[in-house]
Amino acid sequence: MIEVDRLEKNYGLARALKGISFQVAKGEVIGFLGPNGAGKSTTMKILTGYLLPTGGRASVAGHDVVADSLQVRRNIGYLPESTPLYGEMRVDDYLQFCADIRGVPRRRQRAAIARAVELCALQRVTGKNIVELSKGYKQRVGLAQAIVHEPPVLILDEPTSGLDPNQIVEVRKLIERLGTEHTVVLSTHYLQEVEKSCTRVIIVNQGEIVADGTREQLVHQQPAGALRLVVRGPEAQVMAQFRELLPKDCPIEVRERRSDRIEYRVDIGTATAPVDEALARLVIKNGWDLLELQRERQSLEDVFRALTLRPQQEALHA
Amino acid sequence: MHEVLVVFRRELKSYFLSPIAYVFGVLMLSMLLYYAADVTLVDGSQASAENLFRLLPSILLYFLPGLTMRLWAEERKLGTLELLMTFPVTIGQLVLGKFSASLVYLGCVLLLTLGLPLTLAAYGPLDWTPVLASYLASVLFTGSFLAVGMFWSSLTRDQIVAMLLSLVSLFVLYNIGDPAKVEAAADWLPWWLVDVISAISPYRYFQSVARGVLDTRDFVYFACFCGLFLYANALVLHGRRQKG
């Protein structure tokens, strides 16, 4: 549905996109993640035919975004960041304008608008001026605008930013519903959003794709993480035994001392062997008490931080 | 065509949904009619609407920038321009739709000045030919100034900047076509140069059409003048797609 091939975009001397490539198949819901300024919005603006790329190619529904821009635009619904709307217009008038300009035939407009209003739960506000609406409603008007012509592809730039938690849940549910009928590309800062509603995640950082895959794939690509143990036993001996068992480069730290119970955190890094079992056996064999043993679960957040923070810090220290 | 019409309808509607249309219309009309009536409705004077159209260009020059400054600048600031440019319409269609909506609105304001010639006609015999020619000239003139103001609005997201640039450029365009100034300039500049410079001014062609002599060249001039600025406007918007 969407093909992006070595896409580049420069703003003056600044390189916003450094040749990114990815594909989106029909029916996928893609979460576009990345810190501010990573190139998410730029990519989306190119896909919608608004911005012209500096290099590379991109196509939506088989149409090139540069050569065949109008065809691309007919196939997408777009919600820009910050949801621009004509405040002075009434919700129904605005949706009619959007349907009209998107070329929805006159006789189908009423039904199309009714469907968008129903999907976005706007029934109560159709007669109101947009400027009078709450932020959550405005966001839903923005979404209704994007789906009124039933486009195969939806591009949503931070659809939940600035909403309160209840509104976020509502919009997220809506996106999940939309995901069943449309191919969706959405960008966000909220990682839970991606975990809940996206089939695939693309993480961009400084104009490059640093990860692309399902949530599980990304989490597993990362080093195995860490173990947390709470042991009742003499600290020095426990530490010494642990060090003996583990590869030399595994950092061990004492997290907390509660009387005789001591909490250790063992960063098992890339160790492939089942370290947790070995450690448990070691504690028992020495006659100490193993009170807790827990593998710290890698979350998407860890992956995100690892992929987008590390290069920056390395650059800082270089 | 359909797309131009859709943009046109929304734009025209937005004039009447905001206070702009009413405030602008009422203020400009009262200024115009006040001054025109002051010098026209005098005992014993000839029944002629000439004064109305003598004042119109200068009044328009001060009022129009206030109207045109928002046309693109506001859309850019709100971000609606970005959305507008992802609709399946060409930039040319957007520019034409917006331009024609504003021209129709201003045409409505002009129509409301009909009160003056109608009043005159009630008091004495009025020759309608120059009046109608002047209305035609006014529409063409308004269109040309509108195209200039709209162009400046496309260049910035700051409405005040757009307004000031429009005001200054319209001021210059108006004055280089002002007969009194042209004559004064001829005293110290070669006549051909003065003629070339004043030939740029829409005001000069306004006077020509308003006299009631319908010369094709005047219409060609207005078409070219508006076309040039609308084209430049479209180029600026296209440049947005490049720069972001």
User: What is the mean pLDDT for each group of 10 consecutive residues in chain B (244 residues)?
Assistant: 93 89 90 80 68 87 93 93 94 96 94 86 83 93 96 94 96 92 87 90 92 89 96 94 80
Closest approach of chain A CAs to the CA of B156, in angstroms? 18
CA distance A170 to A122: 12
For A119-176, write each residue's pLDDT tens digit: 888 999 999 999 999 988 999 999 999 999 999 999 999 988 878 888 888 888 888 8
Number of domains observed in the structure of chain B: 1
Q: Which residues contact B242 (CB under 8 A, 6 or more apart)?
A: A51, A52
Q: Which helix (H) or strand (E) holds A212?
A: strand A208-213
Break chain A down into helix, strand, coil percent, rounded to 5: 40, 30, 30
Q: What do you get for the CA distance between the two ends of chain B, in Å?
A: 27
Domain A2-220 part of CATH 1.10.1040.10: no
What is the average pLDDT value for chain A, to the nearest integer? Answer: 86
Q: How many CB pairs under 8 A join A and B?
A: 69
pLDDT reported for residue B43: 63
Other residues' Cβ atoms within 10 Å of the Cβ of residue B209: 23
Q: Check B88 against A70: CB less than 8 A apart.
A: yes
Domain holding B101, by residue range, is: 2-243
Q: Check B86 against A48: CB less than 8 A apart.
A: yes
- B-chain residue closest to A95, CA distance: B10
pLDDT confidence band for A86 (50 / 70 / 90): very high
Closest approach of chain B CAs to the CA of A22, in angstroms? 22
Specify whether the CB–CB gap between B210 and B134 falls below 8 A.
yes
Tell me which amino acid residue A126 is: T
Tell me which amino acid residue A193 is: E
| Length, in residues, of chain B | 244
Specify the higher pLDDT residue, A31 or A276: A31
CA distance A310 to A222: 13
Does A272 score more than 60 pLDDT? no
Q: Which residues contact B92 (CB under 8 A, 6 or more apart)?
A: B234
Sheet of A63-64: strand order equals A14-24, A2-11, A55-60, A63-64
CA distance B58 to B49: 16
Side-chain half-sphere CA neighbours of B1 within 13 A: 0
Secondary structure of residue A136 in the 3-state scheme: helix
Q: What do you get for the CA distance between the two ends of chain A, in Å?
A: 41
Mean pLDDT of A250-254: 81
Instruction: Fold for A224-296, please state it.
Output: Alpha-Beta Plaits (3.30.70)
Does A285 score more than 80 pLDDT? yes
CA distance A205 to A195: 19
pLDDT reported for residue A313: 57
Lowest mean pLDDT across A119-128, A214-223, A230-239, B171-180: A214-223
For B115-166, write each residue's pLDDT tens digit: 888 888 887 788 888 899 999 999 999 999 999 999 999 999 899 999 999 9
pLDDT reported for residue B6: 95
> CATH 3.40.50.300 occupies which residues in chain A?
2-220
| Length, in residues, of chain A | 318
Closest approach of chain B CAs to the CA of A118, in angstroms? 22
pLDDT reported for residue A214: 85
Cα pseudo-dihedral B132, B137, B139, B142, rounded to 10: -150
Which pair of structure tokens corresponds to residue B48? 């002629």
Instruction: Say which residue the tokens 């070995």 belong to.
Output: A278
- For residue A295, what are the β-bridge partners? A227
> CATH 3.30.70.3100 occupies which residues in chain A?
224-296
pLDDT reported for residue B10: 95
A67 touches B at CB < 8 Å: no
Nearest to A29 by CA among A160, A186, A148: A186
pLDDT reported for residue A317: 55
Q: Check A88 against B88: CB less than 8 A apart.
A: no
pLDDT confidence band for A266 (50 / 70 / 90): confident
Does A100 score more than 70 pLDDT? yes
Does A315 score more than 70 pLDDT? no
Other residues' Cβ atoms within 10 Å of the Cβ of residue A232: 15
Secondary structure of residue A228 in the 3-state scheme: strand
CA distance A240 to B132: 104
Q: Which residues of A touch B9 (CB under 8 A)?
A: 97
pLDDT confidence band for A307 (50 / 70 / 90): confident
